[in-house]
Amino acid sequence: MAERKSILLRLDPAVHDALARWAAAELRSTNAQIEFLLREALREAGRLPTEAGKMRRPGRPRRADPDEPEASDNPQ
């Protein structure tokens, strides 16, 4: 996976609170919700780059199966 870019974003506190509530309702972090909204806006405007990676699904990542080796455990 490509390295993620970090940015500083200044928001009005009321806007941040609204985003945080919306994110919680959709089982996303506030950061993931902002990225989701930006991607949707880019897609609607026809400006989402084709090389943009996919976002992971909302919610907690699945727990790994203890019987299944991790990708890093099986170098090929």
Contact in structure between 20 and 5 (CB atoms under 8 Å): no
In a domain, 31, yes or no: yes
**Could you tell me the pTM of the whole model?**
0.68
Secondary structure class of 43 (helix, strand, coil)? helix
Tokens representing 66 are: 């203890």
Task: Over range 4-19, report the average pLDDT.
Answer: 95
Answer yes or no: is 60 within a domain: no
Domains identified in the chain, total number:
1
Between helix 30-44 and helix 13-25 the angle, nearest 10°, is: 90
Q: Mind listing the pLDDT tens digit for each residue in 21-74? A: 999 999 999 999 999 999 999 999 999 998 887 776 666 777 877 776 665 555
Whether 21 and 15 have beta carbons less than 8 Å apart is answered as no
39 in any annotated domain: yes
